[in-house]
Structure 1
Amino acid sequence: MASTKEQSADATSTLLNVLNRSGGVRGRFIFAVAISTAGSLLASRLSEDDNTTVLVLEAGQLHDKDPLIDKPNKYLGQLFQPSYDWGFKTVSLINLSGSETGKGLGGSSNINFMQWTRPTKVDIDAWQRLGNPGWTWDNLLSYFKKSENKKEHDRLTRVLVYLPSIILYFGGNNFGTVTPIYSIDPKTRTRASSYTSFLRPHLSRPNLTILTGATVTRLITRENAHPKDESLTAEAVEFICEGQTHRIDISREVILCAGTLKSPQILELSGIGNPEILSKAGIEVKLPLIGVGENLQDHTFIYGVCFEIKDDVAQKIPYEIKQPDHLAYFHSSSLAWVPFQTFTNKTGEETISQLLPQLTPESKKSSAQKTNITTDDTLKCSIKEQYIVLSDILSNPNLPDCEFLTSCRFGGFPNGPKPGKSYLTFSVGGMYPWSRGSVHTKSKDPLEHLEIDPNYLEKDIDLELLLQGVKFLRNFQNNPIFKDIINEEINPGPTVNTDEDLRDATGTLSMLPREKGGVVDPALKVWGTNNVRVVDLSIVPLTVSVHTQSTAYVIAEVAADIIRGKISRWY
């Protein structure tokens, strides 16, 4: 039996031969452009229908049975290696640069931390609140369950989630401390990516063709012939493979699954986006959509409040926990979601009065004035509505907005580990970012680097949450319980004692009403087009308060049912 790599090579050769002979391919095709975390699942689901032919165009390569991906303890080893990671660079930022995004079948599920967390009910219901009928926790819960698998016999058809004994955060109300869950196969001790879980078991389907090494350059569109219909129809996909430019005609629809940073680029190269940005890049405007590439949101973390553990305590730590190849190494961690008010001793009213007046678009230091996102009134209105939702969350003492993660390993900077010592490291993350960034193409050249401005920590509240979280963690050494465990603080270290001393991107093609700067409608179709959809985390209008892998899968599951006509009541 041919290996998956040989199968992929055969598919590539066959497809390119057809293209070279005929100049194009026609048929009942659905095109999935690039395979992000969501895309592998989507391609698998759509190809379940024998009457639908799915063609996948992926710029990256097939990383099958690659130890750098499969071994959980290698999860940082792929970063900024061109075969695995796009290696995107952001615009110049103070102390920050770069954004890791997985490249290849499976997308970022090949290189992420594998943590599996469902969003809260408040997270998902906010999507409907912002103008997307049907996108609610109650409607999506069954889709979260669909992509999870707790049974060994079914492990090849769904993502295998290893479940520790404590499962407390699947009910839509993430609060308190739990043992994290990871998408790791407990039998093989390997990463369960979207490719290995959903796509690899079905590569032999005759109606599923995957072409790797194919960089999509643009969608070729035409205007509708009816004078009253100003919508666009994508009639072909243009891509580069093996140094040659190819075109494939579209008979049904095309789905962008290239992720939060790449999907906006493809639309802009196709003439769909903000006219000012397109004109600056020398691209003809086919469809004005000012929200393309805007509303970029990302979680920010501080990793490395690190304490040295006392020797007598360290001797009691099980051997397996210290070994990265053991699952216990991962599941020795603990995860906590905590409301900001809990560790700052501030009431909701105090928090709002101190931090929110400077954040609303109507204030003297409005969002549009403080950032370079846009001055367009449409986007300002959209941001204002998001801030209202975030204000409700921040003022509710029962809704966590910070995440704390604990691990039995060394971390942080500037100091290094001491030989023979054991460590306990804490991290803090702000799970509802207020800062908004953007991503745009700079020219017609699809291979030129994107202009990515994440705008991290531009809003004071994002930095305040992290600083207060770090102070809270550093104070553990004064806690009577921890005094019996901790020897001393290693990082950031006792010399760091003032505020002055001291990422899961979503949203760039937001699912919002068009009049509010939205790019896709509740059916995930690009506003103003007839047959172009987006299925990845770029459609999330307001980011979720957890790690985003499960959310990407849910978007794909819902999209598959929308495309197959199984959902129509929502919109």
Structure 2
Amino acid sequence: MPIVTSAEFLRREFDYLIVGGGTAGLAVAARLTEDPDITVGVLEAGPIVDGDAAVSIPGCYGESLGTPLDWQFQTTPQPGLGGRVLNWPGGKVLGGSSALNFMTWNRGNREDYNAWEKLGNRGWGWNDLLPFFKKTEHFHPKGPRSQDEYQEHFDPRALGIDGPVQLSYARQYSPSHKLWHETLNALGGRHEQAAPFGVECRVVEEIELRPEGDEWAACGVKFKHENEQHSALALREVILSAGSVQSPRLLELSGVGNPKILSRAGIQTKVESPCVGENMQDHFMTAMIFEVDPTLENPDDLKFSADAKTAALDLYHKSQTGPLTVLPCSICYVPFQHFVPPETLAVAQATIARIDGYSSEERSIRSQRFGPQARVGQIEYIFDLGNWNPFFKPQPLSGKKGSTHIKPATPTDTGSTGIRQSGGVMGSPAIDPQYYCGQHGELDLELMVHCARFAHKICDAQPLASIIRSRASPPAVASQSTANGENNDDEAWRQWLRENTISDWHPVGTCAMGGRKGIEAGVVDARLRVYGVRRLRVVDASVMPLQISAHLQATVYAIAEKGSSMILEDRLPRRHV
């Protein structure tokens, strides 16, 4: 994508302006410009990065967090976490958060997407989305020996073979990977070409809205570049692809949102849209840290030995092999029914029925997740050698580390983001995920106690237990067991979870599709058009009405593929300027 100066950018006439050159925005730009008669402009606050090991080498995952490539947002103080403020990374770079993440590519369960359609979002069920998942992918299977040795099972009919995103299993695995599969199986678990033009801008400040008939219409974008304010025009549409934090904030700055919030910020309400910035649903997580067999090759070796890191870099550049190709990929998704007592799930169902704020359809969908027939993987476990999350900092250990991450895949808590506090208008957004708060959060916390206990059970089972020497976090007080092996010290577990839970940086829902309830329940319709505003769409993770049991990257690409297809199908006439 050619990057041009602001002067060159402003001299061009664009059919479509895309705000955000991230995962979704660049995919939409690429698809639209396959038509040579369409001109697309992309505005991105971050730079182009080429040759940066933190972005391009798999084993350097996490090294870009907290750097200038990261927006480095933070949450508001979280009462459910003892008032802690959490780091909230986001990609401030061409490529967005896909340049910062840990390269996990998986899809949600069929029922995750069918739930979107049940809410009234026609065309967003599994069968409708599958072609767009496949359109993105170019899958490269490894040989039969690797497939058998590392259980690389896949259905070739469900995977794309000629898309732009190159996919494969890891080139190498950590020594614990095979033990993980054997342990979960023993416990009965389930593994579930025309180019757009881009300009690097300091910040997009507003979507310009003008009256068009009896509605407002998006006509362009105001942005700053080198301390000068500019306006770029869009002849057909403006497409917001700034992510679940920035997209709702930009709508609010443009006068689309809750009038009470906009009034406090001194912004004229143009379109009353009460759900902008609401309905935030995030994957949160915590981790158990272990001392492991010191003789095993461990990713932490590269963190503490400059010689080991240099040798690994040399090997990677020569043959693209070695420890820098290893990623934390020992993952499974387990239904609650596998380890949560039936009486606890019954209480969960009853709690869902009492929670205000859910529509009857959403209440039914969420309640069914706790039913005896539910088979969606509601909790994600990841184990690998090393302490590979940079925000988990347990007490120094005498030996090498291993870690098990515990992540609810479909949490019940909901939060908000946007211009909701002093400084939030042109300063940092107010991100308030509301972890463990309210009726939603209390339910999540109780379920997490069971999830943490099961994680302990996994790591105490063979053959995985054969490489674990001791556990450092949580401390012993949170793992004392009764004679029958059950832990009765619930409050100790709760306290440990409050002190150690962080975000997994998978926020969705802040510009959700409203389904049958329309603007009362969402921000965009099923064609991703912003309610009450012509020529304006949102195409990113924020449109997802319910969280999915997967990492987000593959689904965001599918949303971008489907969104760009709808934009081309609708192909609005050019405005007369």
TM range (shorter): 0.7 to 0.9
Contact preservation (8 Å) 1:321, 1:332: no
Structure-2 separation of matches of 1:115 and 1:477: 22
Q: Aligned residues, how many?
A: 489
The aligned amino acid for 1:557 is E
Range that drifts further, 231-240 or 128-137: 231-240
- Which amino acid counterpart does residue 499 of structure 1 have in structure 2? W
| Structure 2: distance between partners of 1:164 and 1:274 | 46
Using the TM superposition, give the Cα deviation of residue 542 of structure 1 relative to its aligned residue in structure 2, in angstroms.
0.2
Report the Cα distance in structure 2 between the residues aligned to 1:443 and 1:285, rounded to whole angstroms. Answer: 18
Q: Select 2:531's aligned residue among 523, 527, 530.
A: 527
Amino acid at match of 2:332: A
Letter in 2 for 1:88: F
Structure 1 residues 567 and 479: CA distance shift in structure 2, 3 A: farther
**Which sits farther off after the overlay, 254-263 or 508-517?**
508-517
User: Which residues of 2 match residues 6-85 of structure 1 at below 5 A?
Assistant: 8=3, 11-12=4-5, 15-17=6-8, 19=10, 25=11, 27-81=13-67, 83-85=68-70
Cα pair distance change 1:159/1:176, threshold 3 Å: farther
CA distance in 2, matches of 1:540, 1:341: 26
Secondary structure, in 3 states, of the residue corresponding to 1:239? strand
2:369 is aligned, of 361, 370, 393, to 393
Corresponding position: 1:415 with 2:419? no
Q: Distance in 1 between matches of 2:471 and 2:9?
A: 64
Aligned pairs for 1:119-138 (under 5 A) are 119-138=108-127
Aligned CA distance change for structure 1 residues 52 and 480 (closer, same or farther; 3 Å): closer
Structure-2 change in CA distance of 1:398 and 1:445 (3 Å): closer
Report the Cα distance in structure 2 between the residues aligned to 1:357 and 1:427, rounded to whole angstroms: 28
**What residue number does 2:427 align with?**
448
Q: CA 1:232/1:163 → structure 2, altered by over 3 Å: closer, same or farther?
A: same
Residues 1:480 and 1:61: Cα distance change in structure 2 (over 3 Å): closer
Q: How many Å separate the matches in 2 of 1:485 and 1:104?
A: 39
Letter of the 1:131 counterpart: G
How far did residue 95 of structure 1 move? 3.1
Aligned with 1:357 (options 330, 350, 370): 350
Whether the 8 Å CA contact 1:394–1:401 is kept in 2: the answer is no
Residues 561 and 567 in structure 1, CA contact (< 8 A), matched pair in contact too: no
C-alpha separation between the residues in 2 aligned to 1:452 and 1:280?
Answer: 17
How many Å separate the matches in 1 of 2:49 and 2:324?
26
User: Is the CA contact 1:150–1:163 (under 8 Å) kept in the aligned structure 2?
Assistant: no
| SS of equivalent to 1:142 | helix
Aligned equivalents of 2:44, 2:108: Cα separation in 1:
28
Structure 2 counterpart SS, 1:356: helix
1:300 & 1:436 partners in 2: Cα distance?
12
Question: Any idea what SS the aligned residue of 1:77 has?
Answer: coil
Find the residue that maps to 1:407 and give its secondary structure.
strand
CA displacement, residues 405-453 of structure 1 (integer Å, 9 cap, x when unaligned): 01022465533232xx444321111011111100121479853121111
Which whole-Å CA distance do the structure 2 matches of 1:281 and 1:157 have between them?
Answer: 44
> Match of 1:523, SS?
coil
Q: Which shifted more, 449-458 or 114-123?
A: 449-458
Q: Which residue of the partner structure matches residue 186 of structure 1?
A: none
| Contact 2:9–2:198, Cα closer than 8 Å, also in 1 | no
**Which residue among 508, 511, 536 is the counterpart of 1:509?**
511
Indicate whether 1:330 and 2:326 are aligned: yes
**CA deviation string 1:228-276 (max 9, x = no partner):** xx32111221111111011122211100000000001111111011111
SS in 2 for 1:85: coil
C-alpha distance 339-566 of structure 1, shift in aligned 2 (>3 A): same
What is the alpha-carbon distance in structure 2 between the residues aligned to residue 565 and residue 268 of structure 1?
28
Q: Residue 328 and residue 246 in structure 1: after superposition, are their counterparts in 2 closer, same or farther (change >3 A)?
A: closer
Which secondary structure does the structure 1 equivalent of 2:198 belong to?
A: strand
d(CA) in 2 for partners of 1:500, 1:28: 53
Structure 1 counterpart of 2:336, one-letter code: F
Report deviation, 1:481: 4.4
Asked whether the 8 Å contact 1:536–1:552 carries over to 2, the reply is: yes
Instruction: Write out aligned runs for 1:266-277 (5 A).
Output: 266-277=250-261
Give the aligned residue type for 1:221: L
Within 5 A, what are the aligned runs for 1:336-485?
336-344=332-340, 346-347=341-342, 350-360=343-353, 363=354, 366-367=355-356, 380-382=357-359, 384-395=360-371, 396-410=373-387, 413-418=393-398, 421-441=399-419, 442=421, 447-458=426-437, 459-476=441-458, 478-479=460-461, 481-485=463-467
1:561 is aligned to 565
Which residue is equivalent to 2:270?
Answer: 286
What SS is found at the alignment partner of 2:478? Answer: coil
Q: Structure 1, unaligned stretches of length 5 or more?
A: 20-24, 167-174, 180-201, 368-379
Which residue of structure 2 lines up, in the alignment, with residue 232 of structure 1?
216
Displacement of 1:535? 0.5
| Structure 2 partner of 1:148 | 137
Instruction: Find the partner of 2:165 among 159, 162, 185.
Output: 159
Give the drift of 1:28: 4.8
Deviation at 1:208, TM superposition (A): 1.7
1:140 shift after superposition: 0.9
Q: How far apart are 1:343 and its partner, in Å?
A: 1.8
Instruction: Name 1:189's counterpart in structure 2.
Output: none
Letter in 1 for 2:167: V
Alpha-carbon distance between aligned partners in 2 of 1:262 and 1:381, rounded to the nearest angstrom: 24
SS in 1 for 2:380: strand
Query: 1:149 is paired with a residue of what secondary structure?
Result: strand
Match in the other structure for 2:144: none
Distance 2:423 2:404 in 1: 44
Matching residue's letter, 2:290:
F
Give the AA of the match of 1:306: I
How many Å separate the matches in 2 of 1:567 and 1:357?
47
Give 1:533's aligned amino acid. Answer: R
Q: Please report how far the alpha carbon of residue 157 of structure 1 lies from its aligned counterpart in structure 2 after TM superposition.
A: 6.4
The equivalent position to 2:493 in structure 1, one of 493, 499, 509, is 499
Report % sequence identity. 31
Where does residue 113 of structure 1 map in the other structure?
Answer: 102
CA drift at 1:57: 0.8
Shift of 1:216: 1.2
Matched, 1:308 2:291: yes
Q: Bigger relative contact order, structure 1 or 2, given CA contacts below 8 A and separation 6+? A: 2
RMSD of aligned Cα (Å): 3.0
With over 3 angstroms needed to count, the CA separation of the structure-2 counterparts of 1:98 and 1:517, relative to structure 1, is same
CA separation in 2, counterparts of 1:231 and 1:465? 46
Cα deviation, residue 461, structure 1: 1.9
Quote the offset at 1:73 in angstroms. Answer: 2.8
Structure 2 residue ranges without an equivalent (≥5) = 142-159, 172-176, 178-187, 303-308, 313-321, 480-491, 497-503, 573-577
**CA gap 1:391/1:269 in 2 versus in 1, 3 angstroms:** same
The residue number in structure 2 matching 1:263 is 247
CA–CA distance in structure 2, aligned partners of residues 112 and 328 of structure 1: 15
* CA 155–455 in structure 1, closer or farther in 2 if over 3 Å, else same: same
In structure 2, the CA distance between the partners of 1:17 and 1:339, relative to structure 1 (3 Å rule), is: closer
The one-letter amino acid paired with 1:564 is L
Deviation at 1:321, TM superposition (A): 10
Q: Answer yes or no: is the 8 Å Cα contact 1:289–1:517 preserved in 2.
A: no
Give the CA deviation at 1:355.
Answer: 2.4
Which residue pairs with 1:253 in the alignment?
Answer: 237
Task: Report the TM-score, using the length of structure 1 for normalisation.
Answer: 0.79
In the alignment, the residues of structure 2 paired with residue 394 and residue 159 of structure 1 have an alpha-carbon distance, to the nearest angstrom, of 35
Distance 1:236 1:223 in 2: 13
